[in-house]
Amino acid sequence: MKKALYPGSFDPVTHGHVDVIRRAVKIFDGLILAVANNPTKKPLFSLDERVEMIKSVTSNIEGIEIDTFDGLLVDFVAHKKASVVVRGLRSMSDFEYEFQMALTNRKLSEEIETIFLMSGEQYSYMSSRAIKEIAELGGDVSKFVPAEVAEKLLAKIR
């Protein structure tokens, strides 16, 4: 059984994230959505809120598990008995960063592979950071995030 892990802060989860999730579950026998608890980042949503949003927007997708982690990604991948890390790419700048991280992870653990999935072109310009900024400035985020996420985002910002 090939298990993969898709890590991220998911602050908030976007249509682009869901696109990568839907495509990754077709490739692997199991997919773990790993919500990062990174103390160096200051997320808008708490870890529990991010987990609940992901559960809500992926409730109709079979073959996934949702968990949280802190510390080294390679340690969590090994703990979950996965062998592949899935990373979504939107642009060349994403590739440069993700490629560097993949090589670093390979140095830390040679058993773990990284696979890059290009986001659908309709999601290639989206980032959680930009979506939060649009919401803060009073813009409509419904095109970028699932309805339940848009509702929580607007409630959090107001």
C-alpha–C-alpha distance, residues 4 and 29, integer Å: 8
Q: Give the length of the chain.
A: 158
Amino acid at site 26: K
**Rounded distance, CA 45 to CA 73, Å?**
21
- Residue 138 reports pLDDT greater than 80: yes
Helix, strand or coil, per DSSP, at residue 91: coil
Q: What is the mean pLDDT of residues 114-121?
A: 88
Supply the pTM of this predicted model: 0.92
Band (pLDDT 50/70/90 cuts) for residue 158 is confident
3-class DSSP assignment, residue 148: helix
Q: 116 in helix, strand or coil?
A: strand
Report all structural domains of the chain as residue ranges with CATH numbers, in order of start.
3-124 (3.40.50.620)
Q: Give the separation between CA 147 and CA 158, rounded to whole angstroms.
A: 17
Rounded CA-CA distance 114/5 in Å is 9
Give the burial class of 29: count Cβ atoms within 10 A of its Cβ; 0-12 exposed, 13-18 middle, 19 or more buried: exposed
Active site residues: 17, 41, 90, 128
Report whether 84 contacts 115 (CB < 8 A): yes
96-100, 123-127, 133-137, range with the lowest pLDDT: 123-127
Q: Is pLDDT of 125 > 90?
A: no
| The residue to which tokens 């409730």 are assigned | 59
